Amino acid sequence: MKNADKYTRQFFEAPKTKMKWTEKSYIDKAPQWCSVDLRDGNQALITPMSLEEKLEFYKMLIKIGFKEIEIGFPAASETEYEFCRTLIENDMIPDDVSIQVLTQSREHIIAKTFEALKGAKNAIIHLYNSTSVAQREQVFKKSKEEITEIAVSGAKLCMEYREKTEGNFRFEYSPESFTGTEPEYALEICNAVLDVWKPKADDKVIINLPVTVSHSMPHVYANQVEYMCENLKYRENVIVSLHPHNDRGCAIADTEMGLLAGADRVEGTLFGNGERTGNVDIITLALNMFSQGVDPGLDFSNIPEITEVYENVTRMRVYERQPYSGQLVFAAFSGSHQDAIAKGMKWRENKGCDMWNVPYLPIDPSDVGRTYETDVIRINSQSGKGGIGYLMETKFGMNIPVKMREEFGYKVKNISDHAHKELLPGDVFRIFTEEYVNISTPVTIKEIHYVQGDGIEANITLEYNGKKASITNNGNGRLDAVSNALKSYLGLKYTIETYTEHALESSSASKAVSYVGIKNEDGSLSWGTGIDTDIIMSSAKALVSAVNKSMKESRA
């Protein structure tokens, strides 16, 4: 591409650290979570949420289990202010939940912020000012010392207003554009703020290290975080927080490596909504931990419901391939994938396995509110017999014989291919029924009576091409006797290649299903399925269905 030479690296390497985070291979405990959907996520919407929509979203966040929720910038708009007051005055904040609000380091904004928070049981005042080289030089045109003074003066004002405002307040400071700031200066300004607030064990302070704009690979951010964690004053009383944005598509990696590097807390949004490419996706982060056996402390067991609320109130859409959350992330269209999943699920069932390890499925879809029948095995022209058979078994209770499954699989794929669309489970079942079940033309059996002797005698009343007939023949079993009668009357030559049966339901009023495959004189197989309340009649119907298909296919 042209113009690459006009770009340069805008990040600063941290002073040499021991990179202790590289010695860890996984996150072994959940961080403190803070949802910023109602502030950072909301300000990124084309149409910001109304008061009613924010309340609906807030209630969902509480239900999920968030203990810290950034609700807005109350000094910036009337809706934000009113939302804050509504939560406080209507006692909508649980005792174990803190609301968080954002404020710039300016006295009239800080004053308005504390006014909005009056009477709050637990609230976090999130103070910020931008510290990057680009912001200092181009926007504020101020020196480091002047930028530090902005932060320190804001910190002092927060202390003053806390003393004279009813409520319980904690503090958070963000050197906004941290990743474009020299780490030594970021440390200097954060320590200057900490010297004002003097955190204690019962009054801890949050230092938030935002990836306001992502400039580097994730390991660079991890080194910056480790440097801050090891050099911040009052570290035992400081909660180090991360707030990554996703400009380079690295927000998840930035956060996970930042947690390995010593951070304690994460700010993010559901589904990663936010300015530009968005914030870090808390659902993905949490379920990454969940997939490694770590309880994230948030309840994402009903992703479809969460998605529905999110899409309704934000007017955003969750991408179909969004990790864990997208409609298609557990879907297997590929025949080989479907076969592996089906065999993996059967293996788990047979082994009574407690631990999850199914091919192509990093977590159990049912743990996040998905179903195997509609979300995992999806049928189109790429599907295979294994997936189609698994769908028929799990959704409709039909355990189709392997060879029949192969033939049926090709029929379904061909129909999907010609229609250029996915087939829903109901479509697949309809195709199976129309192709194989209780086929009654040109031969229909009206009645069968059996007589026990040296073998079995079958007395059959049937209708063939509209004409009734009664026929009798013997066999070494009921199905064999019916088969011999049909062959002699119709002049057919075939052998019964496959016969299986099972109950279709587990109730006392269950039906029986039988599958019969006959090998024709030319070596081809014809399949039929019979369903009836009587197992003997279902087997006869399956045989007649196979015979009818054989005659139709021979005429085609």
> Using one digit for the tens of pLDDT, what is the confidence trace for 295-332?
999 999 999 999 999 999 999 999 999 999 998 888 87
How confident is the model at residue 124, as a pLDDT?
98
Per-residue pLDDT band for 372 (boundaries 50, 70, 90) equals low
What percentage of the chain carries pLDDT values higher than 70? 98
Task: Say how many Å lie between the first and final Cα of the chain, rounded.
Answer: 60
Residue 150 identity: I
Per-residue pLDDT band for 355 (boundaries 50, 70, 90) equals very high
Per-residue pLDDT band for 104 (boundaries 50, 70, 90) equals very high
Residue 278 identity: G
How confident is the model at residue 451, as a pLDDT?
93
Does the pLDDT of residue 143 top 90, yes or no?
Answer: yes
Instruction: Return the bridge partners of 19, or none.
Output: none
Q: What is the pLDDT of residues 259-281, one digit of tens each?
A: 999 999 999 999 999 999 999 99
Per-residue pLDDT band for 385 (boundaries 50, 70, 90) equals confident
Q: What is the pLDDT of residues 188-219, one digit of tens each?
A: 999 999 999 999 999 999 999 999 999 999 99
**DSSP E strand stretches across 227-362:** 238-244, 265-268
Q: Which residues of 450-483 are buried (b: 16+ CB within 10 A; e: fewer)?
A: beeeebbbbebebebeeeeeebebebeebbbbbb
The structure tokens listed for 474 are 């013997």
Helix intervals (H) in 18-77:
42-43, 51-64
Please state, as a whole number, how many other Cβ atoms lie within 10 Å of the Cβ of residue 447: 10
Q: What is the pLDDT of residues 9-42, one digit of tens each?
A: 888 889 987 889 999 999 999 999 999 999 999 9
Position with higher pLDDT, 338 vs 524: 524
Does the pLDDT of residue 7 top 90, yes or no?
Answer: no
Mean pLDDT for 412-440 is: 91
Position with higher pLDDT, 341 vs 488: 488
Please state, as a whole number, how many other Cβ atoms lie within 10 Å of the Cβ of residue 491: 7
The structure tokens listed for 399 are 């355990």
How confident is the model at residue 389, as a pLDDT?
85
Rg (CA), the chain: 34
Mean pLDDT check: name the lowest of 124-128, 221-225, 355-359, 386-390: 386-390
Per-residue pLDDT band for 341 (boundaries 50, 70, 90) equals confident
* Residue 540: closest CA among 454, 429, 439: 439
Q: What is the pLDDT of residues 501-531, one digit of tens each?
A: 999 875 556 899 999 999 999 999 999 999 9
How confident is the model at residue 377, as a pLDDT?
72
How confident is the model at residue 263, as a pLDDT?
98
Cis amide leading into 365 (omega within 30): no
The structure tokens listed for 525 are 């197989």
Q: What domains lie within the chain, and their CATH numbers?
A: 29-314 (3.20.20.70), 335-415 (no CATH), 443-555 (3.30.160.270)
How confident is the model at residue 373, as a pLDDT?
59
Mean pLDDT for 475-480 is: 94
The structure tokens listed for 495 are 């052998």
Give, in degrees to the nearest 5, the angle at Cα 459 between 456 and 463: 140
Where does residue 402 rank: exposed (0-12), middle (13-18), buried (19+ CB within 10 A)? exposed
Instruction: Return the bridge partners of 267, or none.
Output: 34
Q: What is the pLDDT of residues 51-72, one digit of tens each?
A: 999 999 999 999 999 999 999 9
Per-residue pLDDT band for 460 (boundaries 50, 70, 90) equals very high
Position with higher pLDDT, 390 vs 474: 474
How confident is the model at residue 510, as a pLDDT?
80
How confident is the model at residue 359, as a pLDDT?
92
What percentage of the chain carries pLDDT values higher than 90? 81
Does the pLDDT of residue 376 top 90, yes or no?
Answer: no
How confident is the model at residue 135, as a pLDDT?
94
Mean pLDDT for 132-150 is: 96
Pairing mode of beta strands 238-244, 68-72? unpaired
For residues 338 and 189, give the distance between their C-alpha atoms in angstroms, rounded to a whole number: 55
